[in-house]
Structure 1
Amino acid sequence: MNDQELSRAVQYVTASTSYGRETVESIVKTGLQELTELALQSSRQFERDALLEYVSQWTIRRTGQPEPLVREVLGFAGRWLDEVYQEVHAPPRSSGGTDSGEDEGAEPV
């Protein structure tokens, strides 16, 4: 996720809640950073709900914000969290770059 996407997420959540931009930015940025770090450091795959629960708890501790506030903000940022989650669990791309152009399962001619 780049800075523009993060800014868009913060703007959306700020407009959707009654919380200030600084508070929302701190929560969203902390949650997304932890999700990304976890993905880079762990070879284990987690279920979405378990992973988001972990990120919520981490964000609560890291920001010092009350649990209901963090859960609400991350709930509104769910679309972006899901995008990062999908990127984390995307199958690795082949580095060979050898695309034969054949359809899968097609009989050779």
Structure 2
Amino acid sequence: MTEQEINRAIQYVTASTSYGRDTVAGIVKTGLGELADFATHSSQRFDRSILLEYVCQWTMKRTGQPEPLVREILGCAGRWLDEVYEELDRQKAEPQGDTSTDDEGAEPV
């Protein structure tokens, strides 16, 4: 994920919860960072619930934040990621229409 995408996730979670941006940013960056590191270095596939459990436990230890807070924030960030992926899937599924027009190359009036 790019820094811009992470910031959009942080904005989404901050707007969807009652937590401050700094708290949300710390948890989201820690959780997504570990998830990205895990994805890069692991060749094994895991069920989503098991992976979420691991990332939640890791994030709680790293940030010192309580479990309900971490689970809510990472759950909300997960919903944001799901929406992003669903949108990308829809865009990929849409046929690429011909973008040319009949007036292409015509002189302006």
- TM-score scaled by length of structure 1: 0.72
Match for 1:41: what amino acid? H
Tell me the CA shift for residue 18 of structure 1.
0.9
Instruction: Answer yes or no: is 1:66 the counterpart of 2:66.
Output: yes
Question: Which residue of structure 2 aligns with residue 106 of structure 1?
Answer: none
Contact 1:59 1:70 in 2 (8 A): yes
User: How many Å separate the matches in 1 of 2:4 and 2:62?
Assistant: 23
CA distance 1:65–1:31, change in 2 (3 Å)? same
1:46 corresponds in structure 2 to: 46
Root-mean-square deviation over aligned CA pairs: 1.6
Could you say which structure has the higher helix fraction? 2
Q: CA deviation at 1:81?
A: 5.0
CA distance in 2, matches of 1:80, 1:42: 24
Aligned residues: 84
Query: 2:37 aligns to what?
Result: 37
Q: Which runs of 5+ in 2 are unaligned?
A: 86-109
Q: 1 CA distance for matches of 2:40 and 2:82?
A: 16
Per-residue CA shift, 1:29-79, capped at 9, x if unaligned? 100010010111111111111001100000011000000000010111013
Check conservation: 2:60, 2:66, Cα contact below 8 A.
yes
Say if 2:9 and 2:80, in contact at 8 Å, map to a contact too: yes
Matches within 5 A, 1:1-109: 1-80=1-80, 82=82
How many percent identity over aligned positions?
Answer: 70
TM-score by length of 2: 0.72
Deviation at 1:82, TM superposition (A): 4.9
Extract structure 1 runs of 4+ deviating beyond 4 A. Answer: 80-83
CA deviations over 1:80-107 (Å, ceiling 9, x no partner)? 5558xx8xxxxxxxxxxxxxxxxxxxxx
Q: Which runs of 5+ in 1 are unaligned?
A: 87-109
Three-state SS of the structure 2 residue aligned to 1:77 is: helix
Distance 2:17 2:70 in 1: 12
The structure with the largest alpha-carbon Rg is 2
